Amino acid sequence: MSHHYQSILASIRTEVLPLQHDGAVANYIPELMTVPPERFGMHLRTVDGHDFAVGDSDEPFSIQSISKVFALALVVSLVGEKIFKRVGVEPSGSSFNSLVQLEYERGIPRNPLINAGAMVVCDVLIGQLKRPKQELLAFVRQLAQNKRIGFNERVAASEKEFGFRNIALANFLKSFGNIQHDVSDVLDLYFHMCSIEMSCRDLATAFLLFANHGTRPGSTDAVLTKSQTKRLNAVMQTCGFYDEAGEFSFTVGLPGKSGVGGGIVALHPHRYAVATWSPRLNAKGNSVMGMKALELLTTKLGSSIF
């Protein structure tokens, strides 16, 4: 199958090109608006280490909410599944930054991939790590096998300056007792986490962890158990695309995660991880070209997890 991947990616690029002016770049984080909006990249890496790519696949971009998967994986590797006593595993069914839902659920975020849930994860990391920002970044670098991955301080500062709703969410969580550390420390970690810059190649490499039973290909040291990996993939399947998770399952049929920086990464267990990047988003906050590219991928390959 793998020898067909390159020609499939090339045909996908041709088919999604007419969509390059559809959608809009995220405007509530001003720094994200500086990215050229017509960019498109796609990188697929197989579990046995073969790489296939088209377009701007080596250009780093702000991964935004994709980083929540890395933070969750690190937390589960440290404390196990007791994290799920403080955050649920149900699809949100509403906005990823909803205050109303958080009040209705009395401070227990619906899942760890919405903003409030990721803040609880950050709170746990602060309690577990001596240097949370640096150790989270080291974890991501290790998974992606790239020591040059870093934070974009301009993006982090932009998120802090205009992050009024996220600041409200963190304080709301604190009022319910579900943030145990200083709110400003939790937000600092959260904003930096979202500002991490990676390329499609980096993301595809890092997500092989979830396609390979919780072990990085080529390594014998398990980061997660098989059971933990299965559960994290299930969370991505049902909660990874804001309130478009059902549509992604329906059209693509892979676990994955999107971010408002225009990135999407998905995986087929035991086979491959694939990342796309295109900054223009649809109304649900997901990349227009990326969503279509991944739909075409599983259609052309004739396989998903279902």
The sheet carrying 196-198 orders its strands as 61-62, 196-198, 150-151
Q: Compute CA 176 distance to the chain's CA centroid, rounded to the nearest angstrom.
A: 26
- Is the C-alpha dihedral spanning 38, 57, 60, 186 positive or negative? positive
DSSP class of 277 = E
Residue listed under structure tokens 């300056």:
161
**Residues annotated as part of the active site:** 65, 68, 190, 242, 260
First-last CA distance in the chain: 18
H-only helix segments in the chain: 5-16, 67-79, 99-104, 115-128, 132-144, 153-161, 164-175, 183-195, 200-206, 208-211, 226-239, 245-251, 288-301
